[in-house]
Amino acid sequence: MELVHSAKTPSKQKLLIVVTISISLFTIIPLLYPFVEDPNFFLKQQHPSQTSIVKLQDSVETTRGRCDIFSGEWVPNPEAPYYTNTTCWAIHEHQNCMRFGRPDTDFIKWKWKPHGCEDDLPVFDPLRFLETVRGKTMAFVGDSVSRNHMQSLICLLSQVEYPVDASVNTSDYFKRWTYESYNFTIAPFWSTHLVKSTEPEPGKTEHSVFDLYLDEADERWTAEIGDFDYVIISSGHWHYRPSVYYENQTIIGCHYCQLPNITDFSMFYGYRKAFRTAFKAILDSDKFEGVMYLRTFAPSHFEGGLWNEGGNCLRKGPYQRNEAQDDVTMKLHRIQVEEFERAKEEAKRKGKRFRLLDTTQAMWLRPDGHPSRYGHLPEANVSLYNDCVHWCLPGPIDNLNDFLLAMIKREEDKGQLAQVRKMMS
């Protein structure tokens, strides 16, 4: 009996050991699963090294300080374009140059190369852009060139996905487009002067001027910006038009209005005041917590006369990098930058983020990128027959989105650096 008993005892012990090991394995394996899936799991749980912080900081400093992505020249890019007028439905008719017979295509095949940068400005990556802005919102505030810019972005993103109309407003000037796979929404806000304005009545000639209220921001966009993570503002060509200037609801003067007993101001006065008021509205907004980008003036390129005097833009390639801007473009740009820098100081004190998308010089060097007469049928009765203000799609305006993505990525790097520093403190 003892032999039998002694023979059974080891079997029970073995069974107990097997059961214990099995239970242990079933308990431990799920805990180890993340490590099996990701061999670097343990490394990711460690605090960042000083080396990684320095590397990230160098990246941020390089793009912000030693490397100015807005100073450079245009170089050939045989891989462009990245969409066509037949693959993108978002092209406004008047910028659809290929449809209306523009014979040359070399103007499409250029990209921007910054000076003094270790790396070139990357060509727009639509997938990376959508991943970066996942779950966010972006507003384009301004005139038809602002809309031109937004439509370029839609066309570039069409390589990945088309947006759906998510508008709450029936007006084409205030649409909302959503990329459902990325929960990303973009919206234009039509505001020609950024401040409150009243257009001339159709057919009225006695007082055919705009009324501009220079100390009142346009509430059609200021009331909505709290919903947006990125707000890109711009304004320019509408300020050339005859306007009566108001402050404190009182006429203080006008620009080229030719009305009796009213002081004549240059358009630069109204331009400066409009941006000062627009920036103040953002600074005073309790709801806006995003990033404001000022996209600087995009110049026109009329040669041989003004827009209504036979001026045209027939060049086939970019200017050389040392081509000087005209006096008006330089002054408008300078006003924008001065008012931006002024507002930026207050933004820092209030914890708001103001950023400069300083693309004027890059666009000045592209007199070849406008529709000219290829934005309509030859017999069409249009006010701007030779369009040297807007930009063909595809065309140079696509490169504004190269800059935009670089700036958004820079903002993302700054945020990561701040988080790393917080972890290390």
Active site residues: 144, 387, 390
Query: Which 3-state string (H, E, C) describes the chain?
Result: CHHHHHHHHHHHHHHHHHHHHHHHHHHHHHHHHHHHHCCCHHHHHCCCCHHHHHHHHHHHHHHHHHCCCCCEEEEECCCCCCCCCCCCCCCCHHHCCCCCCCCCCHHHCEEEEECCCCCCCCCCCHHHHHHHCCCCEEEEEECHHHHHHHHHHHHHHCCCCCCEECCCCCCHHHCCEEECCCCEEEEEEECCCCEEEECCCCCCCCCCCEEEEEEEECHHHHCCHHHCCEEEECCCHHHHCCEEEEECCEEEEEECCCCCCCCECCHHHHHHHHHHHHHHHHHHCCCCCCEEEEECCCCCCCECCCCCCCCECCCCCCCCCCCCCCHHHHHHHHHHHHHHHHHHHHHHHHCCEEEEECCHHHHHCCHHHCCECCCCCCCCCCCCCCECCCCCCCCHHHHHHHHHHHHHHHHHHHHHHHHHHHHHC
Chain Cα centroid distance, residue 374: 26
Both structure tokens of 31? 């805990």
Q: What Å distances lie between residue 54 and 50, 119, 172, CA to CA?
A: 6, 18, 47
Is residue 2 exposed (0-12), middle (13-18) or buried (19+ Cβ within 10 Å)?
exposed
Quick one: residue 101, left, alpha or beta (phi over 0 = left, psi -120 to 50 = alpha)?
left
Inter-residue contact 375 to 93 (CB < 8 Å): yes
Q: Which residues pair with 213 in a beta bridge?
A: 196, 246
Is residue 179 exposed (0-12), middle (13-18) or buried (19+ Cβ within 10 Å)?
buried
Residue from 114, 111, 34 nearest 67 by CA: 114
